[in-house]
């Protein structure tokens, strides 16, 4: 497929880019600084800003799907949704956040007393992003929330999927590597098992 990947140079975006290329997809990597994405076969690197929806829409036009890996506080969700809608692309996958997941008692993760205060603004925007997508029936969106601990690690290919409740491993830890997260996201791109749904991935 021909995929537009917004924020392809970030921690999550770079791993999603690698996973897409490894599966033979052709990627337009949209970044603010093109020097941050090394040249490679199957990748076209272009400069773009998610907060300029009209210009971004032109970059997205003609793709089979759009993936956004932008931080919620860096790019307004409204601008991204507007750009995707204006581009005519209907399939839209978003790198979500863990703060909008619920814990076992039904509490939002971001409302937990142990949730770091400095992360709340980002998580709050993620909650708002999800709500905006849920009010966008014209888009075939998917919002993939990682587990609580989400960072660089190993690509194992062994993980579980869930819906709105946070996943925990046998030790009681909620985590997923960015490499395995990328597998789950590209699986969703190819299989379309969670269209107009939020889901999560963890060990």
Confidence band of 175 (pLDDT split at 50, 70, 90): very high
CATH value at residue 112: 3.40.50.720
Tokens of 187: 């699986």
Query: Residue range 103-126: average pLDDT?
Result: 90
Please state, in angstroms and as integers, the Cα–Cα distance from residue 69 to each residue in 126, 144, 166, 170, 173, following that order: 12, 11, 20, 29, 24
Counting the structural domains of the chain, the total is: 1
Confidence band of 163 (pLDDT split at 50, 70, 90): very high
- Please state, in angstroms and rounded to a whole number, the distance separating the CA atoms of residues 36 and 20: 18
Q: What is the pLDDT of residues 128-159, one digit of tens each?
A: 999 999 999 999 999 999 999 999 999 999 99
Instruction: Tell whether the model's pLDDT for residue 91 goes beyond 90.
Output: yes
Domain range holding 39? 2-202
Closest by CA to 25, choosing from 42, 11, 10, 38, is 42
Instruction: Tell whether the model's pLDDT for residue 104 goes beyond 90.
Output: no
Sorted by sequence, the CB contacts under 8 Å of residue 92 that are 6+ apart come out as 65, 66, 67, 68, 81, 84, 133, 139, 140, 141, 142
């Amino acid at each position: 497929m021909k995929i537009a990947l917004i924020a392809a140079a970030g921690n999550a975006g770079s791993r999603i880019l690698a996973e897409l290329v490894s599966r033979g997809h052709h990627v337009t990597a949209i970044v603010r600084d093109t020097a941050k994405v090394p040249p490679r076969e199957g990748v076209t690197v272009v400069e773009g800003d998610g907060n300029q929806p009209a210009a971004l829409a032109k970059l997205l036009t003609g793709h089979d799907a759009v993936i956004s890996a932008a931080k919620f506080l860096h790019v307004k969700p409204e601008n991204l949704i507007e750009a995707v809608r204006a581009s005519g692309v209907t399939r839209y996958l978003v790198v979500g956040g863990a703060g909008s997941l619920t814990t076992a008692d039904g509490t939002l993760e971001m409302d937990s007393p142990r949730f770091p205060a400095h992360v709340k603004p980002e998580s709050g925007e993620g909650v708002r992003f999800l709500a905006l997508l849920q009010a966008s029936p014209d888009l075939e969106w998917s919002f993939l929330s990682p587990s609580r601990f989400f960072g660089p690690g190993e690509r194992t290919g062994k993980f579980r999927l869930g819906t709105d409740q946070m996943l925990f491993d046998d030790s009681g830890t909620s985590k997923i590597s960015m490499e395995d997260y990328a597998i789950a996201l590209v699986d969703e791109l190819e299989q379309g098992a969670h269209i107009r749904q939020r889901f999560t991935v963890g060990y």
